[in-house]
Amino acid sequence: MAVISRRAADRLRAGHVWVYRSDVEELAGVDGEDAPALLPVTDRRGMLLGTALYSGASEIALRLISQEAIGEDAWLALLRERLKAAIALRLPMLSAETDACRLVFSEADALPGVIADKYGDLVILQLLSKALDNDAVRLVTAETLREAVHPRTIVERPDARIRELEELSAPAAAPLYARDIEEPLTKTVFHLNGLKFHYDANSGQKTGAFLDQRENYAAAARYAHGEALDVCTYQGGFALHLAKTCRRVTGIDVSHAALEVAEQNLAANREQLKDSEVDWIEANAFDLLREWSDAGAAYDTIVLDPPAFAKSKRAVDSALRGYKELNLRALKMLRPGGVLVTCSCSHHVSPAEFTEVVRAAAGDARRRVRLIERRGAAADHPVILTIPETEYLKCLVCEVS
């Protein structure tokens, strides 16, 4: 049994599901080094708050999965039920135009630590908590995914950094499921908004593509015009959508490997995007934008989609300076009537803080910026109001004069 502080108990009662290690006051009747995956959670008075997944290695020691006391059998049944509900929510979002989405989004689907992404006929699974690192969870999860979406292959691919922090076991070399055991599918082409993208389960950031930006890709294409610049393009997600409406698009990224995939994606869509000229530049975004803005380079549309600058609360001030620098340079480079699509995926940076950064950059650049849309992640990444970490992606679409 885990006894937690009053602060943590109030947090759970308010609807959050995390308890930090510093708020665990006692592990009663268990050895902290060898505690079970499931623990009942109580406040100081002994009042039951529910059952949580326990991790002795993580800063987030407890992740609440039920407000009742449950055992392993009930947890596995609950896991199956919640997986089915999460997938059912996403199935109407899929079509021939878009056959990729996030099927399961961790806390947002009441399944802390479970993430599953669909790329065409390939499903990528991440189990990001020590309490999930067992055969029973893998079996239930793989069976449910197979029955619900009928993929050709299911591959487990944990985030390398989280695997180290959580002290997770190494994933098996073989897929969790493969329709063709002899030649399992690990590479595929999937579709977002009618465009084709390559995916390789053995390479790339996170689990592959940034599916959370799907609706923002489409929004950017609606407003974009003229000459466009996509900063931190990764594998060309925004750039190729911009090419639907812009005569020339340049994508910038520091990763050579990412730009190689971007070029493959461009080739796959060349016929559809034949009216646009698209090129890629391998460079550090800060250095290049500073050089270009000082030299007077000008664009009609600029997209800023950098990686998360704030991995912790301590990094927020530095992150805000980074966001301001990028936005300041972009605003200086936009022609009157231009469009700025600017994003932040740092959940430690609030929507209000990010908006203030763009406002401050507009003031320093002496540009009038009109907010057209305030956007977030796509619908397959739902937000739970009592878990603010689920609302991590910010996207502002602005007109600059």
Q: Which residues are known to be catalytic?
A: 345
Distance CA 125, CA 145 (A): 10
Distance CA 230, CA 248 (A): 11
Distance CA 272, CA 279 (A): 16
Bridge pairing between strands 369-375 and 277-282: unpaired
Please state, in angstroms and as integers, the Cα–Cα distance from residue 91 to each residue in 100, 102, 126, 149, following that order: 10, 10, 20, 8
Q: 193: which DSSP letter? A: T
For residue 88, give both structure tokens.
């059912």
For residue 177, give both structure tokens.
């499921």
Question: Alpha helix locations (H) across 334-384?
Answer: 351-365
Distance CA 136, CA 124 (A): 18
46 φ/ψ angles, rounded to the nearest 5 degrees? 90, 10
Q: Which of 380, 349, 312 is nearest to 327 (CA)?
A: 349
Q: 36: which DSSP letter? A: -
Please state, in angstroms and as integers, the Cα–Cα distance from residue 122 to each residue in 55, 274, 358, 377, following that order: 29, 29, 38, 22
Give the number of other Cβ atoms within 10 Å of residue 374's Cβ. 13
For residue 251, give both structure tokens.
């994508």
- What long-range pairs does 92-98 form, CB within 8 A, spacing at least 24? 93/379, 93/380, 94/118, 96/191, 97/191, 97/193, 97/194, 98/191, 98/192, 98/193, 98/194, 98/214
Helix, strand, coil % in the chain, rounded to nearest 5? 35, 30, 35
